[in-house]
Structure 1
Amino acid sequence: MARSHLDVDGRRIPLTNLDKVLYPETGTRKFDVVDYYIRIADAMLPHMASRPVTRKRWPGGVESAPFFEKTLPAGTPEWIARFTIEHSERRTVYPVVRSAADLVWLAQVAALELHVPQWRIDLSNEHDRLTDRIVLDLDPGPEVTLDDCAKVALDIRDMLDDAGLPSFPVTSGSKGIHVYARLGAPVRSESARTVAKQIATTLAQSYPKSVTATMAKSERDRRVFIDWSQNTAAKTTLAPYSLRGRPQPWVAAPRSWAELAEPGLQHLLLSEVLDRFESDGDLLAGLSTAVPAGHDDSVIDLGEYRKKRSGRSRPEATPAPARQPAPRPPREDPEALPDLVALRPMLATDDPIDGLADEWAYEGKWDGFRALVRVIDGRVRLVSRTGNDLTGDFPELEVFGECLTADGEPVDAVLDGEIVALNDAGLTDFSLLASRRRTREPHRLRMYLFDVLYLDGVRLWEQPWEVRREVLESLTHFDDEPLIEIPALLPGPADAAVRAARDRGWEGVVAKRRAASYGSGRRSADWRKQKNWNDIEVVIGGYRPGRGSDSRIGSLLVGLPAERGLRYLGRVGTGFTDAELDALLEELRPLQISRCPFIGDIDRPVAGSATWVLPKLVADVQFMDWTSTGHLRHPSWRGIRRDKLPGDL
């Protein structure tokens, strides 16, 4: 075996087979790969700094089968820095690249692709993986071009600009584009993932025909898939300036935004990247900067609730014995915190949501029991909107105490949500929830969470809704518990959210101002609700008088034509003006009859006070849904249909 040595950064590195052709299409040899990594090291190293490296190696060249490698192989030079990650059943020792010599050694073993996570070792400990950047991987589906990816990248840039985050595009050297953003302060990987997912889903909702945030390959046809998951601590992305194991030596190459705005975008070869670096420098220079010592309010650390852990250590990239978890600080007694004990659900107004601007977000509205979930030292208490204790009514939800743990210790929390019962169709059904102890009708109990007010010593209710929502979505405690769900947000704007909620059979929509804090126990226009209603045409078969001395109609008794009369659907008692009630009474008096026009039984109190009328008038009624007995739920009057007769229904 031909062997030579190269001195780089004070290291003497043995090299073999430098004439080995690794890229047959272009004749690119191992020598050329070594040369590339030496010349690009000044640009590449800052973007790999303090990150463990996973390698993809092609010892036989790119036309042969590659293999992934995480653990360092035997014979690795002792001067290669190492970082060990403890798994439940194994320890994985990764290299950490700090110099051009490290890159040359990787080229020697034909590690063409170098993949790194977004989190940094020097910011993290074994409990929290912190990152100072996010990445979005734009992966083109069938019939999608690199120019199509560039258009999506430009949309992402605009969103990041609006958030005050500098962004940088990189053509991946394979198919798509990576878009990086520099964060103002380090955040947990879960928080970075949440931000990236929000960007991806927002664009997918805005451009459903050309963008998807769904990983299923069936959803990618003629769309750009925005992969937000690479911000997860367990995942990696090809490092900027890394080569690709493709037919030609393409590179994950930093680009300018002006390039992406022009048609005909192409991936770059290693020679082109070197030429550009020599002339223009590192286009990613603004991405990897020194970690700020202070906290930048433009990016909120969603791991803030863990600040009470003392002595956060920063491991060096050298072998070290396994670290013990940082000691948990003394627990506050939440029962001694009047603000925490006094928290009550915030309530929404009935103000219209049409035309709300971008500073609003949209959640589903469900037909259930509203409750705060308070978990203290593993003990669970459910509190209704009126302050009543619901804990004994829902013993199944004691599971919150089992879920909310970290490192074997309980995590204190106050969460806001809705207790619901799902019917066979997967829709919330209040009658099933109310009668669940007495009915044999199948149903599934769920707790839908939509807010977090207190978590592990941090009071969050004064934070903006969007911060609380990101904290909520970053929680992984409930991932394996089917009783607890965090429903996804609805797409905006308001009309799209209303349509989506109606299509899904939900009760309605709640619009929430993103910047709003949590108003405990009060109704605020920062939260606005709009119910979804169904329309139905019914026949009036009777009426009941109003209360007391009121001579007007109190409610109408309505139904639908059946073979031998009217099938009773219930009472309509809202939606009228006084003038309408007066006019209806005048119209119904001449139609009075002595016999009930409804078939089947009607509740005796209703029938006993009813005035029956000839079933002649057709009316338009709005209602929420159907009860289990086949009656209208929450019906509301809309008006007489003068153009229709009962026989038309």
Structure 2
Amino acid sequence: MPGSKLEVDGRFIAVTNLDKVMYPGDGTRKFDVLQYVLAVADAMLPHIASRPVTRKRRPHGTGSGPFFEKALPSGTPDWLARFTIAHADGKTIYPVARSAADLVWLAQMAALELHVPQWRIDLSGVGSAGDESRRTDRLVIDLDPGPDVGLHRCAEVALAIRDILADAGLVSYPVTSGGKGIHVYARFPAPVKSESARAVAKQIADSLAAAHPKDVTASMAKTARVSKVFLDWSQNTAAKTTLAPYSLRGSERPLVAAPRTWDELADPTLAQLDFRDVLDRIGESGDLLADLDPAIDPVITAPDTNEPDSNTVDLGEYRKSRSSRLAAEPGPTRVTGTTAGIRPMLAADEAIDGLTDDAWAFEGKWDGYRVLARHDDGDIRLWSRSGVDMTADFPELRELGSVLRGFDVVLDGEVVAYDAGGRTDFGLLASRNHRDDDYTLAYLVFDVVELNGTDLTATPWGKRRQILDELTPVIEAAAIAEVPPLLPGPGADAAEHARANGWEGIVAKRRASTYQPGRRSPDWRKHKNWNDIEVVIGGYRPGRGGRSGTIGSLLVGLPAETGLRYIGRVGTGFTDADLAALLAELKPLTIGRSPFVGTLDKPVASSATWVLPKLVADVRFMDWTSTGHLRHPSWRGIRRDKLPGDL
């Protein structure tokens, strides 16, 4: 299903990849998620409307890891409300959802989980006031069952909390979290400071833990939670957030933080609910939390006269209008002829810790092949950073030709392979043609170099990113292509986010930087979470035992002024298919003498088969030995996009 536009509350929202499966457990598609969000909006909005929203995004569905996002990405529609919070390391601008259109836009961005604090903006004042001024009119206790503790035991503790709150004159409302536990909410008769709400919640948690020490704990220590229900009172702290009622979960199936009745919690067969169950219940009983949060006034929007008067528009019409407008904007000098062969701009190895969002943007560093793609009237050409034509290597990217009609464009990005866990795996990408592992190929686009004959290399990054954001719905209409969102800074936070998600690292780009083809510029800086190195294969030693008849280890080096400098042997990280393919590729390159400068150790050289140093490979290692060799190197794959002269 191609991209289109959906009209919600007078807003036209570009929606893409509607057939993408977001929940592999039952095949729920992005289309179904958008339908749920629209249907649940009236019930959900009162519980999040005056609260900044933090998101867990899953662009590849719940089969891959989440992308935790606080700050609004560039390209956010002007009509989405914002709220700025001052943190110790700077200010962060959060979205505030007030209408169904806001929820649909968040869902289109694959923000499946919406988390909000308990305090409300309209009770705490506007601007970026500190945590001490945050005020709330509700309390929450998060019941998190420890290992081997079932949902029914969790419900028994929730019923005890209900009784304590009732004795204090507070009405409470249970919500099964969609995960393992239960949230219990209560409404205060008048607003209180967040720290006061936290103190009340802690008192309840401590009293229950004291009364039932074998079943309940209020301790944050994970070791104290075994066989117990942990009562997380800290969710009321101003800096904390909780999954919003009616929000989807990032689980295998589309489970929901679902409001329940207290009678249901007394049922020993209590279970978590999915979004279909929740919609049925709303149809029958309405919002069970209606008395928890005040109703909100609807957001009235004027008709958007720049858009067609219909619910959806054809992507072709959208493409034409965007193409005409972008091409008409003042810009740099127009160029003619092909840009194929241009070398991509490269990032320097420089520190990123002190870099801030105001001057720098932070992107993920992806573990794949750097590829420039040119589209011209339905034709797609691909080439590597070394100028190697890779069009035939990735026939899947021809799909871009059908969605980009109307745009003659040069894109810069990374071709990656996602493994079954949703993480990029260079080894899988490099050896995908002779392995049976499941993988998903994707082209992650992060820059636009030329558009409709206009050379954008002299255009600042910030402007190029705006153009890329405008093109995103078109690019992502191809199931194989994505435009990854930016990471919130500062640099240290972005690097930690990448590390926590198992990414290769991050790239920091100066917002004012131009695109400098083929140059490694300090205006772009890379930070790697692992020690990776690109090496040249100069020979191999035969395998023994289980590897008899194939390769035991590769002999690798780095180009130096006098020749190829030997840096060690790589003997791990291979699959049997890798070894067979490598042996077949290296045998025709066999030569009679060592390609390395100097003399290698006799035990190594005596059994080596030497090869022409033509193949570049990617190796991961721990550090360097005192003799200048790689310590604990591991094979990752051949770099088809590079030549030895590029190192």
What TM-score comes out, normalization by structure 2 length?
A: 0.45
Q: Using CA pairs below 8 Å that are at least 6 residues apart, which structure has the higher relative contact order?
A: 2
